[in-house]
Amino acid sequence: ERVIPALIDNVNECCNDPEWSPKIAEKIQLTRSSILMAFRAILHHKCLAPLSVECPPPVLVGECVEKFMQVMSTCVGDKTFITDYCSTYPITKDLEFFQQHGGDITSLSFIKEAVDMVLKEMGLASGMTNLTLNEVQHTEVKETEGDTSGMNGYAQVGSAVPNHIELASLV
């Protein structure tokens, strides 16, 4: 995920062709979206889906919470990725899901605090983490216009979800 901002910067600096630069940037955005979608699918498959059965045993809940904590603890180290991920897939919904299934509230609070700290440090308003993509697309953030540093350089609002044609073109 750290490669994506660097690619965008290089495209902006090196590619002066107004016809190709947007096309390359779009492909990079699709790659970024695919990374987020793949990560989400794996996280869902390993940590959330096993609890979708009726009355999952407490041991299974504990194992799923532990897996989730391990994965998210690792991801918190990559601030750009976790900010991008949480702006697309609100972590609070996952935490609520675990709590509804009897997950350890202390462990879940630890992850939530770590993620919130990263989001605050990266300048993502706490109100932006629980919005749907449609709400985010209609929210204007004037102070980041023209700013291509960090996340702003590649995480354009609403660009995280490619349509089925864009996704198929990546394969």
Please report, for the chain, the start and end positions of each structural domain, with discontinuous segments joined by +: 3-170
pLDDT value at residue 147: 45
Query: Cα separation of 122 and 80, whole Å?
Result: 8
Quote the DSSP letter at residue 46.
I
Residue corresponding to tokens 């216009």: 145
Q: Spell out the alpha helix ranges (H) of the chain.
A: 3-14, 20-43, 58-76, 79-88, 91-100, 105-121, 133-137, 164-170
Region of residue 150 (left: phi > 0; alpha: psi -120 to 50; beta: else): left
pLDDT value at residue 166: 54
pLDDT value at residue 25: 76
pLDDT value at residue 15: 66
| Alpha carbon distance, N-terminus to C-terminus of the chain | 19
Residues in the chain: 171
pLDDT value at residue 100: 92
**Cβ–Cβ under 8 Å, residues 130 and 90:** yes
pTM (2 d.p.): 0.65
Per DSSP, the residues of 87-100 read: HHS-HHHHHHHHHH
| Mean pLDDT, each 10-residue run in order, the chain (171 residues) | 66 68 80 92 95 91 94 90 90 92 88 92 64 39 43 44 56 50
